[in-house]
Structure 1
Amino acid sequence: MPYDKGIIKRLATQIFINLIIIYCISRLAFSFGKTILPFHKIIDKEATKLAQLAALFSEILIVTLLNVIHFAKYSLNKWRENALRASNLEKEKSQVQFDNLKNQLNPHFLFNSLTSLDSLIHENPTLASEFLRQLAKVFRYVLQNKEKGLVSLETELNFIKNYVALLQTRFGESLGIHFNISEEGLDQQIAPVTLQILIENALKHNIINQANPLNINIFNQDNYLIIENPIQQKKQVETSNGQGLNNLKTLYSFLSDKEVLIEKNDVFKVKIPLI
């Protein structure tokens, strides 16, 4: 007779059974006590019907109170279990969304990389070979770390430098990505592929050409990894559902007590908490 299928029915039955047990025990104790205690005559005299009625009401009150406390404790435990379950489901949902985001970006990046490689094969076979090696390193990193919750910032930076080298082949001097990471920040951790997603987001939303070069600065400050770039907004952005940064914010809400901060003034700035 679980609480979930009828609170009143369960409580009433539980209290009734408790009262019967307590009443029987108290009556037996009273009867037995009178026979062995030397002052049983005083007990008989004081045990008036009013006193016995008061004792009965006291038993009812105490039993009811104890059962209500038991129900309150049960309800609190169930609430905690449900809250934990909801939190885990939300975390799993955010992780799935984050993985979907990576899976959406990787084919898009691969398409652009293969297009660049195709032109390099004819123009500069040596550079094309180096380009292909760097591309292999990028996807090896993604495959090796996509199941991990966190990687060190140093590991992520080593990966992202191969990624940046591929972008430089594609954009040339129109794209500048500058790193300024302190030594103590290298041992801190972030979610894998975070930097790729943020750089790809900047490339997707901003104009990049010789007349409008895009410079992206990546540095750490106050236990945050900061990625900033000037706003050179494209009029139309393809393959964008606007959920990339929201998914990152949701994911990091489970990884850190500090939230992902987004600032948009003269520059677009994203602050990722280092863990």
Structure 2
Amino acid sequence: MMKYRNQISNGFFNVLLFSGLGCFSLFFLVRYTDIPLNSQDILMTPKVYLAVSIIFTGVGLSLLYLSRKIRNAHPSLFRNRKKLILSSVITAVILFASNYLLLVTVKWIVGTEHPFGLQWHGVRMLVITWMIELLVSGLLMINNFYRQIILLYERNANLEESSLKAQYQALQSQLNPHFLFNSLNALIAEIEYSPEKAIEFTRYLSDVYRYILQSQERQMVPLREELEFLHSFIFLHKVRLGECITVENRIKPSLLDSCIPPLTLQLLVENIIKHNIISLSKPMNILLDTEESPLRLVVKNQIRSKQGIVPSGKGLMNLAKRYRLLCNQEIQITKDSTCFIVKVPLLDE
């Protein structure tokens, strides 16, 4: 709601600004150029002011719309100093041309013999009017520039806060007593019956904790690192539950350098294990795949819901918020009678 209020407020301000510039230009160009005195009163009417206001507002809003479209389609243009200067020069030329065309139109309306010609005081007032408008436009650009800086600063602060909170929650989910209890029980059992496997279990457990701790300092990680972590994470659960969890990886090798937020796969797989019945008689296959246009990672599993467990959805909500702050993209969640599917965007570094 606040976003729409800001958009309406900015739009109203822009309309007032451009219509004000139009009225200002009309007044000075009519009063202080070579328009005959007996024709000035004809031009200084509410209808003429209204028409000029509409024209200037239309031109100004069109320039803003075009600038926004170019910025969204080619953001690198506005990070290049020379191209930014060129854009400002073009805007200044268009503004000067608008004033000149306004003066020519006014002279043509009153029947001046040479509407395209200008006397010296007419040229001087045209330039003075143009310079004042440039000053006002420059102040507007500076205001918009600093407003964008503030928005980017707030966005970055929210991203850091959300990322740290999400990583801390993911860390807690692995370090909670229930997880430690299950892991230590599995380790004790392996020490008693299979010391060699207990050593392997300890190494994987160490790998899992190391990755979780290291990921706290990163906003994105390559997909290949997440898959390596998932291998260790699944191994721990296989030792505890048996060979009843499989991961079917259909991800193309060319996409392994794409990035996702750290611990994304841990969150999605942990949800599957937490909310579904998994046993040797009812094994769980987790499918990892990708799709294009847009490029996304697909995590799919069968639904065999545990009784008495009501999903809170907090983990997926938190992941969705991280994606919105990180890249302004949404995750997609679909569910039918047999399958649960989560699709998350794959990003560039």
TM more than 0.5 = yes
Give the SS at the match of 1:91.
helix
| 1:141 pairs with 2:202 | no
8 A Cα contact 2:299 2:341, kept in partner: yes
8 A Cα contact 2:171 2:212, kept in partner: no
| 1:206 pairs with 2:282 | no
Q: d(CA) in 2 for partners of 1:86 and 1:214? A: 42
Give the SS at the match of 2:191.
helix
State the 1:168 CA deviation.
1.1
State the 1:229 CA deviation.
0.6
Give ranges in structure 2 of 5+ residues lacking alignment: 1-128
Give the SS at the match of 2:320.
helix
Is 196-205 or 149-158 further displaced after alignment?
149-158
Partner of 1:102: 170
- Kindly report which structure 2 residues correspond to 1:1-275, keeping only aligned pairs within 5 A, or say none: 72-73=140-141, 75-108=143-176, 109-222=179-292, 223-237=295-309, 241-256=312-327, 258-265=329-336, 266-275=338-347
State the 1:65 CA deviation.
7.5
8 A Cα contact 1:226 1:272, kept in partner: yes
Give the SS at the match of 2:243.
helix
Normalising by structure 1, we get a TM-score of 0.68
8 A Cα contact 1:262 1:271, kept in partner: yes
Q: How many residues align?
A: 218
8 A Cα contact 1:180 1:218, kept in partner: yes
State the 1:184 CA deviation.
0.5
8 A Cα contact 1:105 1:197, kept in partner: no
Partner of 1:14: none
Larger of the two Rg values belongs to structure? 1
Normalising by structure 2, we get a TM-score of 0.55
Q: d(CA) in 2 for partners of 1:180 and 1:66? A: 58
**Partner AA of 1:106 in structure 2:** Q
Relative contact order (alpha carbons < 8 A, sep ≥ 6): 1 or 2 greater? 1
State the 1:169 CA deviation.
0.9
Q: Give identity over the alignment, percent.
A: 35
Give ranges in structure 1 of 5+ residues lacking alignment: 1-60
State the 1:141 CA deviation.
2.0
CA offset digits 1:199-256 (Å, max 9, x no partner) = 1111111122234322211122222111111111223338x75321111111122333
